[in-house]
Structure formats: structure tokens, C-alpha cells
Structure 1
Amino acid sequence: MIDALKPYAEYKESGVPWLGKIPKHWQALPNRTLFAEVKDRNHPNEPLLSVTIGKGIIRQSDLLANSSKKDSSNEDKAKYKLVQPRDIAYNKMRAWQGAVGVSNYRGIVSPAYIVIRPRGEQNPDYFHYLLRTPAFAKEAERWSYGISSDQWSLRAEDFKQIYCSLPPKEEQDCIVKFIAHKDRRINRFIHDKRRLIELLNEQKQVTTHRAVTCGLDPNVRLKPSGIEWLGDVPEQWEVRQLKQLLLRMDYGTSENLAHEGLIRVLTMGHIQDGQIVLPEKGSLSSIPSELVLDHNDLLFNRTNSPELVGKVGIFLGSSSEQVSFASYLVRLRVEQEHDPRWLNYLLNSNGFWNYAKSQALISLHQANLNSTRYGRMLLPLPPKQQQTEISDYLNEQTEQIERSIVITRHEIDLLREYRTRLISDVVTGKLDVRGVVIPAMDVAETLEDIDTDEDTDTEAEDLIESEEVTDADE
């Protein structure tokens, strides 16, 4: 698609290193001539806005509703700055990461943000795209000051010294219209691919649930299990309490993690999709030998949010790796006559996991499922040979599905890279889109109707943790 576009007929040197050559009829001007800084305060009752890396400016209420972050804004919002629709704002501490955007809302932002308004008859959306390019982010980094990257700040007076490209207004409109059209199409492709990933994950869950509750023989005779969530099971299967399949259940270490030493300590975030993802670095220098994980140990998350409590992962390493686990995880060591891989699949199946979550005690948005309650839970128990057959079958099936998911995620990454490159080339004049005919937008194909492809967690990280007002913010 980029190959179908052509560069402009004539270029000139912009005199600005990050811009390079620009179309002959464009200008390169300092931001002080392009934008006016806005410091409109004393609007404490206006809704809060957030400037995110992923989406630009959004309502903070929308951000908090879709993340685990909490509102960290000051109670006294008299010094917060008003943002009008079509204003632009950037996060001084995150401008070098792309935390900038044009607002579609009226609201207020922290004093740690800079609010600017394009001068004259300019299209704010053009600058929205330009200021979010990797090239501008690099320039913002060059003008930011601080001892370390987490303290870099792009002050308003420094932002004003940066030069930006300026096409004629009608050309800005063409560029914005073209990018919006391409963005909708790319978002649609990404939406469809993310939906495919959802379907593949659903297929994996259905395949797993069927295998661990009914076995692999579709013609097997069934009997009532007496377990509400389970229903009928093969006649030769038993129903047991989980603890009857285990040698031991152990709580993890309660030591404060020093983040030094060779012993890696697993936390709930290291349990992902039934597997254990090891941390890169160690956290402790010593640990009791009984708290070192062995091959095929299972870990279950006894304390988490109500949505995530009870997740299980299998440790496929060995005791020689010196890996331990934190106190809100419980180690399950399986009897030799049972297959730990099969048990891992069973405990992570939707049926059993939902059953486990229903047994958790919830207090202040936190769920706890202690080992005693967990160990008493009933589950279907096939003979050892069938356990192994089920494990081998599910390993093969899930590996095929995972390969498809990995391929699809890679395709999403390529679409994102393509979009970033396309936007950068268009807003800096590397490609000419003036003659491109944009088809009429399908009524159903608005940006609000198409899921964006950015992860909420990335945007949540952009919330201001500390909103102390400095002299420069006054």
C-alpha cells in the first residue's frame, strides 16, 4: 500500500535534522509560532482527562474502568488545567515516549501536563499525528532534561524551540483524512485478528474441558459424577478430593524480596496460561530447601482479584535451578501415580477454575482461596494411563493452536509497524496523498465502533503517580 503512493515532485532542505527534506512548498517553523500555551485553571468540577501513550487523550474514567489503576489525582484541583476540544496536551515526563494528543473532550489535566492550542487556521489532528511519530518522540527526548529517563521532562519553553513541519491547511486536511481512513482499515484488520485469537483460545478451552472431563473416547459409557459443575463422567473414572492426589501442599516464602541473590522467586504474575514464566533475575540469597521447586510441581494462586484467583501453572524446570515462590502462591506436589501435566490441564479448565473461584472468600475486591478449601474440591480422576494419553493429546492440540496464535499476533505487530511507518511518511512529507480518493466511510466503520489495538495496561501506566506542582507548573 505504501508502494502505491509517490513522493512529492520537489523537496528542499528543512534545516531541521529530525525532519530532513520536506516538500518545497512546506514550511519548518518553531513550535512557539505554531502553538500557544494554555494555562486556564480553576475548573475543579470538570472531568479528568489522561494523556496516554497508546491512544492520546482519553477520559480518565474510561481508563480507570478498564484497568487496575486507581485515581491518584489531588483532591484540590484548582491548579489543574482546562483542556478544550481540539486542544493538544502532552505529558512532560512521557513526551519522549509519545504521550501526546489532540483532545476530543472538555476536561482538566494535571499541572504536570502542558496544554497547547494551534495558532491560526490549522488542523489540530495533523499535529496529533506528527507529534506522536517516533521521529518527534526522539526529538522530544533530545530536548528533555533529568537525571534519568524516569525523570526526563520536556518543559514548555523547550517544546517551543523544537521545529515542526507545516503543510498548507488544505493539505493538512488531506493528510488527516487519508490517515483516518487508513487507521480505520488497519484497526478493522487488527480487530478481526484479535477476534481470531479469542476464537482460538475458546477452541483451546473447549478441547481441554472435553478431554479432562470426558476423556478421548467419544463412545465411552458415562455415569453421574455427583458434581454439579462436572455432570457425567466415564464409568471407570473416580471422583476424588484434590488433596488425595497430592504428596503435599506448601505456602511460599514470606521473605521480603531483596532483588539480589541467585534464587528466583515466583509471584502471581509469573503464572501465565498454565505455564511458569521465570523472572530474569534472582531475588533472594538463600531459601529453605523445602521451598525449592522441583520438576512438575504445580503452583496455584491463592490470593488475587476475584477474576484471577485460582490460576495454576506447572514448573518444568528442576530443583538445581533454585526457583522458589512467594507466600500467596501454594505449591502442589503430585503423587507419582498421577500425571502432573494432566492435573495442570484439569485445574486450568474453565469448568474447574470457575468452580474454584466460586469457593474463594472475597473481601475488599481481593479473593482468597486457602489450601484447605482448595484441597477439598472434588474432581474427576481417570486411570493413570488415560491421564497420560489426555496430556499427550492436549499437548499436541494446544501446541497447534498456540502456533496459530503466535502467527496471528505477529501479523498484528506487522500491521502496527506498517501503520507507524505510513503515518510518519505521510505527515513528514515523504509521501504525497493529495490525489488519493478516499471512499465514503461505511456508517458502521467509525473509530469508536472498531476496537483499538492498544493494551489497556500500557495506557494505565501513563497515569500520573505523583502530581506535585512545581514552580514551572505555576
Structure 2
Amino acid sequence: MIGDLKPYADYRDSGLDWLGSIPAHWGLLRAKRLFREVDERSKTGKEELLSVSHLTGVTPRRLKNVTMFMAESNVGHKVCRPGDLVVNTLWAWMAALGVTRHAGIVSPAYGVYRPVEGGGMLPAFADHLLRTPLYAAEYQRRSTGVNSSRLRLYPEQFLRMPVLLPPPDEQAAIVRFLAWANGRLDRAIRAKRKVIALLTEQKQAIINRAVTRGIAEAVQLIPSGNSLLEHIPADWELSALRRRWQVLDCKHLTVPFVENGTPLASVVQVRNFTLDLSSCKRTKPEWFRQLIEGDRRPKRGDLIYCRNASVGSCAIVDTDVEFAMGQDVCLIRSRDQNQRFLNYVLHSPFMKRQLDLLLVGSTFKRINVSDIKALTIPVPPKVEQDSICNYLDTELSRFDVATGRIAREIDLLREYRTRLIAGVVAGTFDVRTVVKTLPDEEVADLLDEPVDEADDADLVDEATEA
């Protein structure tokens, strides 16, 4: 059915270069004709705290793994009601906004806009339209600030924006069609993610076997004395991490970010086995020099370990590029052990069980450097560490190829969905005929079904929270 979509019969020039031609019968009104800013404040701070991000729109914060600073009190937060448009003022240019389906409170730095009575904009249509790349680019042009990390979309600028307004019945048809299309795409994405989960489970089993028992077919085992690992090879030992490795915490400095500067490795950069600085923030040279004081300059072969948010994520430094540790990470190094072996151990189910015990009852997912130093590590002789790493590098490569291929397929489906939504809400495609053929029962179910979220949504959300 998606392939049956056709353009409208008649278009007219919108008069705006960024918007181009629009269906001839659609309206185009400034946002102030459709929304009004509201500034209702919480007197108790007890309402549901909501999160606003470019990935998931407006959602209850309790459902997300956002670990940024939490205020001692939410008194004075802005109140929003179902149907309100909530805009993350600082990150609007990334489309960090959405129409809320929940009553609750949001950061006092956010903008809350309530639909004007009789304005004619359906909340669900507004949520689709105002989060498109087309509008995100216009938010960026209308935002003010010294650089991209400081851009803000103020209410007066937002309320001046031209907003597309199809007739109400056509908005309803668009919402219905997108619910159906998103449902089909979401099911396809979830099926692929299940395959990735199964491959990851197999990969974890291989890692765990190798780093706790070795790779030899026949091996003499002895009691380990540890309840999480009953036996280990006879020539291995269980050791506290601090006995073989040095752990250096980050400097806990709040540094300014700049467009062009020295890279900073924080939580997002350690999501994979190897450190990824491609999307990192940067700071000035003078701050870099302070961050690397006390032998904290990362070197090739070091491990960068996350002790907050995604606790236990760890990546090996496989670059000679000069960078510093940002917040919430620490550095692990050794002169005589195989760092890749330790990285595999830190990625194993055996290690996850240790971390789970450490975090029992914790309000926030965070561990201290002393906890990291006390982690129990199975330590084989160095020559066996090397052999295990060579085996795992080879054995796991086929899993990485398979999961990488499926992940790219998921990315393509998400990109297709973005283009489809943008085309439909901007009037490139006419859905009125197609939507009449959709089964009522299926669409009704999908209207309340959550949209697929990226695996790393929570990590990215941290960058788009106030």
C-alpha cells in the first residue's frame, strides 16, 4: 500500500524556500494561531516527571534510563497536560520536542505550548509534523546562541514559525495511515532486533566460557572459592582487579565545550568494545591539560570504563589520537597483562552478575572507583590471555558481521520511516485513498502501540536533556 501513494493533484507555492510547494487546499498559519505558551508551575513537585528527547518525544522519565543530575525538588517545574507541545529549548534544533500524551511536569527551561481552542491542529498530527527534519532545520535557523551546543529556540521565534495545516479530516487520515505504516515497520524492526539479541546471547556464552575456563578442550579445574564462579583452571587465579591493574578516575571537572578542540571520551564513546570518538564533545587545550593531570592521559591499549549511567560499559583505546576523559568514566591500565583479555572479562556475564550484586538497592546506577578496584577477575597466565584473545577475536568476528548487517537493515528501515513521515505530513504524498482500505481493527490497535526506539535511546537522551 505504501507503494501506491501518489502526489496531490494540485500544489501551490508556499512562498518559503525551506517549505517549497504544498497541497493547494492546505492552510499555512503561524504557530501563534495554533498554540499559546503556558507557564503553569508545580506547587508540590509530585506530578509525573516527563523526559523530552529527539528520539522518543515526550515520555515518563521513570521508564527511561536517564541518569543526569536530578534536582532535590521538582517544585517550580512546568506543568503540561495531554495534548500540550513540549519543546526542549536548548535542543529544539535536534527536534527534541513532542506532543505529550501524559499529564506531568517538565524542566522549567522547556517551552510548553497548549493548542489554541478551535485552532484546528490535531495533537497527533502536530507530533508527526513538528518533529520532522524539515522543521528541525528551521528550528536551527531560528535558534540563537554562540555555537550549536548553545542554540536556543525561544518562544517568540517558535510562535512566528509557519505551520502546515491540512483540513481536520485529512489530518486524521494522515495520523491513521502513519499508525498503520509505523506498525508494520516496527514489527519488522523488532523481529530483526530479536535476531540480534539471540546472536548477542550466543556471543556472550562464548566469551564467558573462554574467560572463565579457557579454550582448551580438556582442562583441570579446581574450586575457586567464589560463589559466582565455582571452578577455575588449576593454573589460574581469581584476583581483585587492583592487584594487576591500575585504575585512575576522571578529574570531575565541568569543562566548556567547543566546536573544534580536543576530544573527550565519556559514556557514549564506550558503548562498543573499541573506543569510538566520532561523535564526542570537545574542549579547549587549556582544559585538556588539566584533565590529563596525574598520569590521566589515555594511551593506546588503555581501557575507558563507565561507572555511571551504562555501568560496566568498557572500551579499549585503539587510536593514537590525543584525547581526555570526560565525566563518569575512569581509566584502567596495566604494564604486564593483556588489556583485551580484561576487556573481554568486563564484557562477560560473569562480570555482569558481579555488577548486579553491587547495584542491588541503588537508586542510581553508579559505582565508585573503589568498587571497580575490588571487582573479581579470573587471571590466566599471560600467554594464555593472548591465546584466548586471539581465539575470541576470530570466533566473534562472524557474529559481529551478522549483527552489523542486521543493524544496518534496521537503520535503513528507520531512515525509510523518517522519509515516509516527512513526505506524508508535508504533502508530498496523498494518503486519503489508501487510508480507506486499511482494516479498522489493525489501525485501532496500532494507534496505542509504542513506536520502536533505538537500542541506545537512553544514552542519546542524556545529550538532549536539560
The answer to whether the superposition gives a TM-score over 0.5 is: yes
User: How far does residue 31 in structure 1 lie from its aligned partner after superposition?
Assistant: 2.9
> Matched residue of 1:93: which SS?
helix
- Aligned: 1:83 with 2:80: yes
Task: State the match for 1:13 in structure 2.
Answer: 13
User: How far does residue 328 in structure 1 lie from its aligned partner after superposition?
Assistant: 4.3
Does the Cα contact within 8 Å between 1:186 and 1:419 map onto a contact in 2? Answer: yes
Does the Cα contact within 8 Å between 1:299 and 1:330 map onto a contact in 2? Answer: yes
1:372–1:173 distance in 2 versus 1, CA, 3 Å:
closer
1:59–1:4 distance in 2 versus 1, CA, 3 Å:
same
Task: State the match for 1:458 in structure 2.
Answer: 460
Does the Cα contact within 8 Å between 2:49 and 2:62 map onto a contact in 1? Answer: yes
Q: 1:291 & 1:73 partners in 2: Cα distance?
A: 32
Task: State the match for 2:189 in structure 1.
Answer: 190
- 1:377-436 CA distance string (max 9 Å, x none): 46353683x544322221012222222222222222212211111011101111011111
- Aligned: 1:332 with 2:320: no
User: TM-score w.r.t. structure 1 length?
Assistant: 0.76
Does the Cα contact within 8 Å between 1:250 and 1:332 map onto a contact in 2? Answer: no
Q: Residue 308 of structure 1 is aligned with which of 300, 311, 334?
A: 311
User: TM-score w.r.t. structure 2 length?
Assistant: 0.77
- Aligned: 1:132 with 2:149: no
Q: Superposition pairs for residues 274-353 of structure 1, below 5 Å?
A: 274-277=273-276, 283-284=288-289, 296=301, 298-299=302-303, 301=305, 304-305=307-308, 308=311, 313-316=315-318, 328-334=330-336, 339-352=338-351
Q: Which moved more, 1:48-57 or 1:7-16?
A: 48-57
- 1:448-474 CA distance string (max 9 Å, x none): 45653370233343333xxxxxxxxxx
Task: State the match for 1:469 in structure 2.
Answer: none
User: How far does residue 352 in structure 1 lie from its aligned partner after superposition?
Assistant: 4.4
Q: 2:184 & 2:193 partners in 1: Cα distance?
A: 14
Q: 2:19 & 2:262 partners in 1: Cα distance?
A: 48
Q: Residue 423 of structure 1 is aligned with which of 415, 421, 424?
A: 421
Task: State the match for 1:53 in structure 2.
Answer: 54
Does the Cα contact within 8 Å between 2:304 and 2:314 map onto a contact in 1? Answer: yes
Q: Superposition pairs for residues 432-443 of structure 1, below 5 Å?
A: 432-436=430-434, 437-439=437-439, 440-441=441-442
Q: Superposition pairs for residues 242-257 of structure 1, below 5 Å?
A: 246=244, 249=246, 251=248
Does the Cα contact within 8 Å between 1:267 and 1:329 map onto a contact in 2? Answer: no
Name which one, 1 or 2, has greater alpha-carbon Rg. 1
Does the Cα contact within 8 Å between 2:6 and 2:430 map onto a contact in 1? Answer: yes
Does the Cα contact within 8 Å between 2:265 and 2:325 map onto a contact in 1? Answer: yes
Task: State the match for 2:180 in structure 1.
Answer: 181
Structure 2 letter corresponding to 1:70: F
Does the Cα contact within 8 Å between 2:204 and 2:349 map onto a contact in 1? Answer: yes
1:74–1:117 distance in 2 versus 1, CA, 3 Å:
farther
Task: State the match for 2:408 in structure 1.
Answer: 410
Structure 1 letter corresponding to 2:289: L
Q: 1:255 & 1:23 partners in 2: Cα distance?
A: 54
Q: Which moved more, 1:423-432 or 1:161-170?
A: 161-170
> Matched residue of 1:463: which SS?
coil
> Matched residue of 1:231: which SS?
strand
- Aligned: 1:393 with 2:395: no
Q: 1:249 & 1:42 partners in 2: Cα distance?
A: 49
Does the Cα contact within 8 Å between 1:359 and 1:373 map onto a contact in 2? Answer: no
Does the Cα contact within 8 Å between 2:58 and 2:97 map onto a contact in 1? Answer: yes
Q: 1:371 & 1:158 partners in 2: Cα distance?
A: 49
- Aligned: 1:93 with 2:90: yes
User: How far does residue 60 in structure 1 lie from its aligned partner after superposition?
Assistant: 4.2
Aligned-residue CA RMSD in angstroms? 4.3
Q: 2:105 & 2:391 partners in 1: Cα distance?
A: 56
1:114–1:266 distance in 2 versus 1, CA, 3 Å:
closer
1:445–1:393 distance in 2 versus 1, CA, 3 Å:
farther
Does the Cα contact within 8 Å between 1:41 and 1:81 map onto a contact in 2? Answer: yes
Q: 1:51 & 1:324 partners in 2: Cα distance?
A: 29
Unmatched segments (≥5 aa) in structure 1 = 465-474
Task: State the match for 1:30 in structure 2.
Answer: 30
> Matched residue of 1:115: which SS?
strand
1:422–1:267 distance in 2 versus 1, CA, 3 Å:
closer
Structure 2 letter corresponding to 1:426: V
Q: 1:137 & 1:93 partners in 2: Cα distance?
A: 12
1:102–1:118 distance in 2 versus 1, CA, 3 Å:
farther
User: How far does residue 147 in structure 1 lie from its aligned partner after superposition?
Assistant: 4.3
Q: 1:116 & 1:244 partners in 2: Cα distance?
A: 55
| Length, aligned pairs only | 447
Unmatched segments (≥5 aa) in structure 2 = none
Q: 1:111 & 1:243 partners in 2: Cα distance?
A: 43
Q: 1:29 & 1:323 partners in 2: Cα distance?
A: 48
Does the Cα contact within 8 Å between 1:126 and 1:172 map onto a contact in 2? Answer: yes
Task: State the match for 1:231 in structure 2.
Answer: 230
1:357–1:11 distance in 2 versus 1, CA, 3 Å:
closer
Q: 1:102 & 1:372 partners in 2: Cα distance?
A: 41
> Matched residue of 1:182: which SS?
helix
Q: 2:11 & 2:429 partners in 1: Cα distance?
A: 11
Task: State the match for 2:153 in structure 1.
Answer: 154
Q: 2:78 & 2:464 partners in 1: Cα distance?
A: 18
Structure 1 letter corresponding to 2:311: L
**Percentage of matched positions with identical amino acids:** 29
- 1:121-146 CA distance string (max 9 Å, x none): 44221122111111122223333344
Does the Cα contact within 8 Å between 1:52 and 1:462 map onto a contact in 2? Answer: yes
Does the Cα contact within 8 Å between 1:361 and 1:369 map onto a contact in 2? Answer: no
User: How far does residue 317 in structure 1 lie from its aligned partner after superposition?
Assistant: 5.5
Q: 1:423 & 1:328 partners in 2: Cα distance?
A: 41
